[in-house]
Structure formats: structure tokens, C-alpha cells
């Protein structure tokens, strides 16, 4: 204990040195204004790099070192959250990053396969103080004993599982199991599906996989960023500290309705409307709706012109439309093709009329005359008005709003269900907006032309600067016989174009920050939690975000609750990768005690008698209970006061329609769209509770839950579960004992 404490003290001293050095570098660099853009760029890069190191150092403060590996060949390594080296010429490692290959025996070695180890040590710390050691002997021929050997190899894991919850998901870097390690370190190419029932750790494994991939493929993924998609804001808040605690801060966390930059989904849909909007058929409906906006005159558009009327009839417009569609470009990008064809046709029409030879000879207008006529037509506001009428420039918001106001190309019943003429955007609208953006495209030709014009101005300005700076000296050099290497060097190293490049301020945002603002960003890897809940349209959006199809999908089809959720992995992935994906299943329940899991499993088993839940590895001896009451609000308040754990967190999970009244009766509870999960008591709807865990859970009026929602609600507790109801219990819960009877059976 003393030697390990001395090592931990040394480790934190070195961490403090590294932190001080990085902070000093940032402090020294920030005031530097620099006399040109290049100097400012170098400063900003240095500040960003050192600030990232500071964030990693701060993240590694808690539980900096948690393990030690002693090999038979004499090697001896401490394992920690981040790698730390001595400040010596050899940069000797003090602590090995848990993601390094040499650290794998800490997670995989067994007595049967010791992987070269003599012993494996777990260090338990509180702050900077070593509080316990647990040694596992892996080489039975080793006679040395420390007095910290334990007979239960799972003691550290079970202690972590029994610890009180804090309202935030903790990393499992100290207790990663072999099956989890294999998933975390799996190749990042292709799509990996991680399926597992409640409590199997699939979410935290996915987060550690993100940390590992960023470590193993730093250059690639730091540039392209990793996207983690979660089901709701409460979930993202719950998992938000895991990756920073592992030293990774450059990851974008978002819900599906946050993936269309510039649009916030504040509205709500009925379940029926959300399900319809999520169908794959909506993509075809929107595509047809876009084509509907590419119209023809009925029968002709007459355009006034100083040389007589121009007639844009259906045949002319149809030919222009056929030409534009043949380009294969999205609507807005194909629009110039339509416009140019119309302008050319109208120019020909005008040329034939005013240049016709009355004696039947060739047209009297020369090429220059025709060109002048074409220019006049091209700048005509009346012509552009006609083009806009037949092939309008559209925005995704405009297109989807018009579509929802009159949802054509859908069955009448579906159209009536989703029809909307006002109100804010809903979560189910976000994939529609993204689809519309793909169908329309963005015509950035004007912006590119403006940017190029600005660049040419910068080059001209830079050339003037060079002429003023070096011009006279160059003339002196030409008039002299001797060499002037300084002038030559200046001209060799700096030209006008290079100097102009230096004047452009670089974008110093992180990759994650830039990705959040760019709808077309292609991520290096995407992790999706509760993947079974996403609709077909949401999957179209996500697949666009990762064209290389490097993804980790996490979920459990048995927990599918959203009406539009795809559920089965085959239906999700077949349209994009066929059967070219890998599937793994986690079968051990680390969260839910046997007593609670036995009750919860009855819910899916009532519909599918063959249902097999994940195997719980813990038993608390505390049975779940149920109580019937005629006053739910009062009963909830009394139960919370009685069941509130001394440490940890309690959740009241109730039908959405009841949450507000229950929260009002619990003045210290947190509730709402983004509840504070660190508060001792929270009130949640069942969808909000997905992926979360609490020490104690009170489920209210379960008969009002859907089967999937009830299964989720019943499996959130790590210690105690109670049910309060006024209506008869669902058949799956009918055998629950009263609180008094359950208490009498506690072992």
C-alpha cells in the first residue's frame, strides 16, 4: 500500500508538471498578436493543441491509475486513463494508456491464458489516496504473496456495480470484461451491431469504443470527427462525462433531431403522424413533389421585349425541362441548365423573327448580333421571372412546409394525418428536411464566383505589396553586377498568390464544432445508441453522414417503442449494405439484480414465451413490490420519502400524461425535457428513461404503458423496484407481492 501510494503521489506530481507546462504555453501564446495571418495561425494551432492536452490532463485527474501488470519476463507496467511519461531523455513510461496493446492482458488474461502475466493488480483510489489493492495470481508457480490476494476475481467489478449512482454514467475502464474488450477494439471499418438486453453495458461499451478508435486512428478520426447519436437530451446529459473522463473531448453528441443545422425541433407530432413521416415511402413522395415544382406553361407565357413579344410555350419549356433533368443534378443545381436552355431558345426565337431575310435568304444577323440579343434576354427580369415560375429556386424548409400543407403522392388517410399549415418543426420533420436538401442541392455558383473574385483582389493587393517592398531593390540588383541573394530569396519564397493565402484567416474550430454546423459533413465513425428506435427516414439521414459506412450500432429490438422504429437489424441495414455487417450480442446483465430481472422478463415473455433475458450476475435479496392506492400523487410522495436511498438516485417513471402532476408533488425533484439527473429524485416518462439507471425506481400506473415502455421502466433499477397503481396490474405483474410481504422475505 505504501509503495503504491508513493507511486500515485509521483504520478500526480508529474501530471501537475505537465499541466503547468501546457498552461504556461497557452498563457504565453494567447497575447501574441503576430504581424501577419501566418503568425496568428501558428499561435492558434499551438493554443488549440495545448488546450486539448490540458483537457485530457484534467479529465484524467480522477482515477488516474487503476491497475498494474507484473509479467513473468520482468516487465512491470501501471495502467491508467491516459499515458504519462517521465521527463527524461528516454521519455520512460510511468503509466500506460488503457487503450495501448500492452494493456490488453489487464482485461483478457485468465489463469488458463495468463498472457505472460505473473499477477494482475487492481488499485482502488479515492481522490489521490490509495484505499485498496486486489491482486490476482495468474502464474500458480509464483510463490510470492502480498497479502492483498483475493479469492473472488470479480470483487472489483461487483463493488463498482453495487456503488451508489451519481446521475451520470461512469466509465468502466477499470472493469472492462473480455467480451466487452473484444467489441471495443474491433476494427473500425464497416458496420458493427452490438445487441444486448437491459443492463448489458452496450452503451458504455460503445463509448469506450469511441475512445479506443480515437486513440488507435487519431489522425484520421480527429480530422473527420466521431458522431454519437443518442435518443434524447436526458440520455446525452447522462453519458456526457464518459468520454471526457477518458481524455477525449473532440466528439459530437447529438440527438437525431439536432442533425439539420439551423433548425430546432420544438413541435410535436402524434404517434401516427411521426410513424408516417418516418416511412421510406416519404423519400419517393418528396422526390415526386420536387418534380411537381418543375412545371410547364398553360398554355404559354408571353414576355414583353423591346423587339417584340417572346413566347415561352409548353413545348419549349418541356424541352428545357428534359435537358435539365438529363443532367442528373439535384433541382437547384439543375436549374441553370433549364435557364440556359430557355434563354438559348428565346434568343433563337427572337433571332429568327428580326433577322429573317424577306427574300428567303440566310438570317441577316451575324454572330455578334445574336450574342448581343442573347445577353439582353439573359438579363431580362421578365425572362428570369418566367424561369422562376417554371423552375423555382427552393429551400428545404420551403419545400417541406409546402409538402406538409398539401401532402400529395400519399394515400388520403396518411395525407390527412400529417397535414399541417402552421407550428414549429417536429423531430420527425428533420429527416424530411435532410431529404429535401439532398433532392434540391445548393447552388453555390454565385458564392464561389464571389469568393474567386475576392481572391483575385487579394492576389492583386499582395502583388502591390511585393512590388512596393522589393521593387526598388530588384531594380538595384539588376543594375549591379554582384549577387543580391536576399532579394532573390524573397522572390523565391514569396509570390503574390502565396502571400494572399496567408492573409486568409483559417477556421480554427475543432472538427466536431465544424461538423455540427455542416449538414454535408462526412464523419469518420458514427455510433448510434437505441438504434432500433430510428425510422427508415432517419436512417437515410444518418447514412449520408457516414458515406464510408464505418458505424457502431447499439440497441435491443426487444425494447423498440417508437411506432416508426425499424426494430430488426436486417430491415435497417439491408438497403445500405445488404448482409455485409457484423453482429455481436452481450448476454450478461451487470445492472439489474436477478430479483428485478425475473419480474421484468415476464413482460416480453407474455407475448413471446421463448423470450430469454440477459443473465444477471448480481442478487440483492430485495424483491420488487406493488401497492394499490386510490391517490397516486399522495402515494408517490410518501413512497419517495420512505424509499429514498441514503446515497444514490431515485427515479419515478410514469406515463407522460402524469409526470407534471407527480413532479409538482415532489418539490425537490427534477423533471421536464432535460431533467437534472444529478438531483436525488427525478420524474421521467418511459422514453426519457431509456439507457439510464438509478438505485431505486418507482413505476407508476403500469397498465398505461406499452409493453416495450414497461419493460424499459422495470429494468432501470440497480437495487430496489416498486410499483404504484390504481388500476389492475398488467397480467405480467399480477404476482408482485405487497411491499410488506416483499420486505418480510429480504435475506
SS3 letters across 549-593 = CCEEEEECHHHCCCCCCCCCHHHHHHHHHCCCCEEEEECEECCCC
| Residue 396, annotated as binding a ligand | no
CA distance 90 to 84: 13
Q: Which residues contact 559 (CB under 8 A, 6 or more apart)?
A: 197, 198, 530, 532, 690, 708, 711, 712
pLDDT at 39: 64
DSSP state of 526: E
Residues 215, 324 share a domain: no
CA distance 9 to 538: 50
pLDDT higher for 216 or 481? 216
Residues 384, 348 share a domain: yes
Task: Give first-to-last CA distance, the chain, whole Å.
Answer: 35
Q: Which strand ranges, in their side-by-side order, compose the sheet holding 76-80?
A: 84-85, 93-97, 76-80, 65-71, 117-126, 129-137
pLDDT at 720: 95
Cell numbers given for 365: 444577323
Q: What would the mean pLDDT of 377-390 be, rounded to a whole number?
A: 95
At residue 474, does pLDDT exceed 50? no
CA distance 236 to 687: 13
**Residue 476 falls within a domain, yes or no?**
no
**Residue 156 falls within a domain, yes or no?**
no
pLDDT band at 47 (very low <50, low <70, confident <90, very high): low
CA distance 368 to 370: 5
CB 653 within 8 Å of CB 681: no
pLDDT band at 490 (very low <50, low <70, confident <90, very high): very low
At residue 722, does pLDDT exceed 70? yes
CA distance 265 to 261: 11
Task: Kindly report the backbone phi and psi dihedral angles of residue 79, in degrees, each rounded to the nearest multiple of 5, phi listed first.
Answer: -115, 135
Mean pLDDT of the chain: 87
Q: Which strand ranges, in their side-by-side order, compose the sheet holding 650-653?
A: 625-628, 717-725, 694-700, 650-653, 681-684
CB 244 within 8 Å of CB 271: no
Q: Into how many domains does the chain fold? A: 4
**Residue 70 falls within a domain, yes or no?**
yes
Cis, bond preceding 299 (omega within 30 deg of 0): yes
pLDDT at 587: 92
- Lowest mean per-residue pLDDT among 20-24, 190-194, 409-413: 20-24
pLDDT at 60: 59
Q: Which residue in the block uniquely carries the three cell numbers 430485495?
A: 622
At residue 171, does pLDDT exceed 90? no
State pLDDT tens for residues 575-624. Answer: 999 999 999 999 999 999 999 999 999 999 999 999 999 999 999 999 99
| Residue 567, annotated as binding a ligand | no
Residues 91, 36 share a domain: yes
CA distance 367 to 365: 7
State pLDDT tens for residues 510-556. Answer: 788 899 999 999 999 999 999 999 999 999 999 999 999 999 999 99
At residue 559, does pLDDT exceed 80? yes
CATH code for position 707: 3.40.50.300
At residue 492, does pLDDT exceed 80? no
Q: What would the mean pLDDT of 196-225 be, rounded to a whole number?
A: 91
CB 527 within 8 Å of CB 221: no
Q: What would the mean pLDDT of 187-206 be, rounded to a whole number?
A: 93
Report the run of H or E that residue 129 belongs to, with start and end.
strand 129-137
Residues 128, 79 share a domain: yes
Taking Cα atoms as reference points, which of 616, 625, 632 lies closest to residue 696? 625
pLDDT band at 361 (very low <50, low <70, confident <90, very high): confident
**Residue 165 falls within a domain, yes or no?**
no
| Residue 203, annotated as binding a ligand | yes
Residues 35, 56 share a domain: yes
**Residue 475 falls within a domain, yes or no?**
no
| Residue 202, annotated as binding a ligand | yes
Dihedral angle sign, alpha carbons of residues 276, 279, 281, 283: positive
Q: What would the mean pLDDT of 122-150 be, rounded to a whole number?
A: 84
Q: What would the mean pLDDT of 716-735 be, rounded to a whole number?
A: 95
Range of the domain at 259: 178-265+509-589
Residues 602, 730 share a domain: yes
CB 191 within 8 Å of CB 553: yes
At residue 717, does pLDDT exceed 90? yes
Task: Kindly report the backbone phi and psi dihedral angles of residue 588, in degrees, each rounded to the nearest multiple of 5, phi listed first.
Answer: -110, 125
CA distance 119 to 105: 10
At 119 the three-state DSSP class reads strand
**Residue 385 falls within a domain, yes or no?**
yes
At 742 the three-state DSSP class reads helix
* Residue at which a domain ends, from 589, 621, 639: 589
CA distance 568 to 575: 13
Task: Kindly report the backbone phi and psi dihedral angles of residue 450, in degrees, each rounded to the nearest multiple of 5, phi listed first.
Answer: -65, -40
Residues 316, 429 share a domain: yes
**Residue 692 falls within a domain, yes or no?**
yes
Cell numbers given for 16: 501537475
Report the run of H or E that residue 625 belongs to, with start and end.
strand 625-628
Total-model pTM: 0.83
Q: Residue 117 forms beta bridges with which residues?
A: 71
CA distance 278 to 572: 12
DSSP, residue by residue, 297-308: -SSEEEE--TTS
Q: Residue 96 forms beta bridges with which residues?
A: 79
pLDDT at 517: 93
Task: Kindly report the backbone phi and psi dihedral angles of residue 233, in degrees, each rounded to the nearest multiple of 5, phi listed first.
Answer: -60, -35
The number of beta carbons lying within 10 Å of the beta carbon of residue 385 is: 12
Q: Residue 84 forms beta bridges with which residues?
A: 95
Q: What would the mean pLDDT of 334-351 be, rounded to a whole number?
A: 95
DSSP state of 228: E
pLDDT band at 504 (very low <50, low <70, confident <90, very high): very low
Q: What would the mean pLDDT of 272-291 be, rounded to a whole number?
A: 97
CA 622 remoteness from chain centre: 38
Q: What would the mean pLDDT of 484-499 be, rounded to a whole number?
A: 47
* Residue at which a domain ends, from 390, 406, 440: 440
Residues 389, 250 share a domain: no
Q: Which residue in the block uniquely carries the three cell numbers 432535460?
A: 674
Residues 601, 573 share a domain: no
pLDDT higher for 355 or 34? 355
| Residue 421, annotated as binding a ligand | no
| Strand residues in 145-299 grouped as ranges (E) | 191-196, 226-229, 251-254
pLDDT band at 325 (very low <50, low <70, confident <90, very high): very high
CB 590 within 8 Å of CB 614: no
Cell numbers given for 530: 437505441
| Residue 199, annotated as binding a ligand | yes
Percent of the chain with pLDDT over 70: 86
At residue 489, does pLDDT exceed 50? no
CA distance 309 to 315: 17
CA distance 620 to 594: 8
Residues 287, 191 share a domain: no
At residue 84, does pLDDT exceed 70? yes
DSSP, residue by residue, 597-613: HHHHTHHHHHH-TT--P
Percent of the chain with pLDDT over 90: 62
pLDDT band at 55 (very low <50, low <70, confident <90, very high): low
pLDDT at 38: 62
Q: What would the mean pLDDT of 619-640 be, rounded to a whole number?
A: 95
pLDDT at 422: 87
* Residue at which a domain ends, from 526, 559, 589: 589
Residues 302, 238 share a domain: no
**C-alpha radius of gyration, the chain, whole number:** 33
pLDDT at 558: 84
Residues 351, 207 share a domain: no
**Residue 503 falls within a domain, yes or no?**
no
Amino acid at each position: 500500500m505504501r509503495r503504491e501510494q508513493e507511486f500515485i503521489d509521483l504520478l500526480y506530481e508529474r501530471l501537475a508538471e505537465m499541466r503547468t507546462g501546457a498552461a504556461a504555453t497557452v498563457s504565453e501564446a494567447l497575447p501574441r498578436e503576430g504581424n501577419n495571418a501566418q503568425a496568428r495561425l501558428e499561435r492558434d494551432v499551438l493554443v488549440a493543441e495545448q488546450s486539448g492536452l490540458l483537457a485530457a490532463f484534467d479529465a484524467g485527474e480522477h482515477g488516474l491509475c487503476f491497475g498494474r501488470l507484473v509479467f513473468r519476463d520482468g516487465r512491470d507496467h501501471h495502467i491508467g486513463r491516459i499515458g504519462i511519461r517521465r521527463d527524461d531523455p528516454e521519455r520512460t513510461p510511468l503509466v500506460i494508456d488503457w487503450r495501448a496493446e500492452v494493456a490488453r492482458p489487464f482485461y483478457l488474461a485468465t489463469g488458463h491464458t495468463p498472457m505472460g502475466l505473473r499477477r494482475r493488480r487492481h488499485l482502488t483510489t479515492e481522490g489521490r489516496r490509495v484505499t485498496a489493492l486486489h491482486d490476482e495470481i495468474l502464474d500458480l508457480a509464483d510463490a510470492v504473496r502480498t497479502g492483498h490476494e483475493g479469492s473472488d476475481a470479480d470483487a472489483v467489478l461487483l463493488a463498482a456495480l453495487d456503488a451508489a449512482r451519481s446521475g451520470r454514467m461512469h466509465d468502466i475502464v477499470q472493469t472492462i470484461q473480455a467480451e466487452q474488450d473484444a467489441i471495443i477494439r474491433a476494427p473500425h471499418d464497416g458496420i458493427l451491431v452490438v445487441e444486448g438486453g437491459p443492463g448489458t453495458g452496450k452503451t458504455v461499451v460503445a463509448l469506450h469504443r469511441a475512445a479506443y478508435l480515437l486513440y488507435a486512428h487519431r489522425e484520421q478520426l480527429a480530422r473527420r470527427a466521431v458522431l454519437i447519436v443518442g435518443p434524447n437530451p436526458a440520455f446525452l446529459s447522462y453519458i456526457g462525462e464518459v468520454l471526457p473522463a477518458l481524455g477525449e473531448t473532440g466528439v459530437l453528441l447529438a440527438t437525431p433531431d439536432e442533425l439539420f443545422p439551423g433548425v430546432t425541433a420544438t413541435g410535436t407530432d402524434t404517434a401516427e403522424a411521426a410513424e408516417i413521416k418516418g416511412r421510406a415511402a416519404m423519400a419517393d413522395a418528396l422526390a415526386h413533389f420536387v418534380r411537381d415544382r418543375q412545371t410547364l406553361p398553360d398554355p404559354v407565357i408571353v414576355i414583353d421585349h423591346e423587339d417584340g413579344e417572346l413566347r415561352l410555350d409548353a413545348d419549349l419549356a418541356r424541352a428545357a425541362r428534359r435537358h435539365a433533368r438529363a443532367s442528373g443534378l439535384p433541382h437547384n443545381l439543375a436549374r441553370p441548365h433549364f435557364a440556359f436552355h430557355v434563354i438559348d431558345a428565346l434568343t433563337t426565337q427572337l433571332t429568327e423573327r428580326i433577322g429573317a431575310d424577306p427574300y428567303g435568304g440566310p438570317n441577316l444577323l451575324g454572330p455578334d448580333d445574336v450574342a448581343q440579343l442573347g445577353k439582353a434576354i439573359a438579363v431580362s427580369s421578365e425572362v428570369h421571372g418566367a424561369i422562376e415560375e417554371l423552375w423555382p429556386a427552393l429551400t428545404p424548409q420551403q419545400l417541406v412546409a409546402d409538402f406538409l400543407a398539401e401532402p400529395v403522392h400519399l394515400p388520403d388517410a396518411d395525407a390527412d394525418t400529417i397535414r399541417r399549415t402552421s407550428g414549429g418543426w417536429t423531430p420527425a420533420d428533420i429527416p424530411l428536411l435532410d431529404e429535401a436538401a439532398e433532392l434540391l442541392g445548393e447552388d453555390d455558383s454565385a458564392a464561389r464566383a464571389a469568393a474567386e473574385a475576392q481572391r483575385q483582389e487579394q492576389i492583386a493587393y499582395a502583388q502591390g505589396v511585393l512590388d512596393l517592398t522589393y521593387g526598388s531593390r530588384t531594380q538595384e540588383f539588376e543594375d549591379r553586377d554582384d549577387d543580391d541573394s536576399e532579394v532573390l530569396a524573397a522572390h523565391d519564397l514569396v509570390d503574390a498568390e502565396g502571400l494572399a493565402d496567408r492573409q486568409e484567416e483559417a477556421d480554427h474550430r475543432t472538427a466536431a464544432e465544424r461538423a455540427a454546423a455542416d449538414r454535408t459533413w462526412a464523419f469518420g465513425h458514427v455510433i448510434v445508441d437505441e438504434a432500433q428506435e430510428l425510422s427508415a427516414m432517419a436512417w437515410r439521414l444518418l447514412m449520408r453522414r457516414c458515406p464510408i459506412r464505418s458505424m457502431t450500432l447499439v440497441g435491443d429490438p426487444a425494447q423498440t417503442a417508437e411506432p416508426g422504429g425499424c426494430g430488426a437489424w436486417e430491415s435497417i441495414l439491408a438497403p445500405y449494405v445488404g448482409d455485409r455487417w457484423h453482429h455481436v450480442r452481450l448476454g450478461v446483465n451487470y445492472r439489474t439484480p436477478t430479483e428485478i430481472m425475473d419480474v421484468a422478463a415476464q413482460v416480453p415473455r407474455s407475448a413471446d414465451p421463448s423470450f430469454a433475458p440477459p443473465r444477471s450476475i448480481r442478487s440483492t435479496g430485495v424483491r420488487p413490490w406493488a401497492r394499490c392506492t386510490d391517490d397516486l400523487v399522495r402515494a408517490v410522495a410518501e413512497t419517495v420519502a420512505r424509499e429514498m436511498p441514503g446515497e444514490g438516485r431515485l427515479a419515478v417513471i410514469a406515463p407522460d400524461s402524469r409526470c407534471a402532476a407527480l413532479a409538482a408533488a415532489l418539490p425537490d425533484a427534477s423533471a421536464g425535457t432535460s431533467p437534472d439527473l444529478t438531483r436525488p429524485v427525478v420524474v421521467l416518462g418511459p422514453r426519457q428513461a431509456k439507457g439510464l439507471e438509478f438505485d431505486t425506481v418507482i413505476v407508476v400506473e403500469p397498465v398505461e404503458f406499452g409493453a416495450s415502455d414497461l419493460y424499459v421502466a422495470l429494468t432501470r433499477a440497480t437495487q430496489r423496484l416498486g410499483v404504484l397503481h390504481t388500476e389492475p396490474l398488467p397480467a405480467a405483474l399480477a404476482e408482485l407481492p405487497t411491499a410488506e410481504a416483499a420486505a418480510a422475505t429480504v435475506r
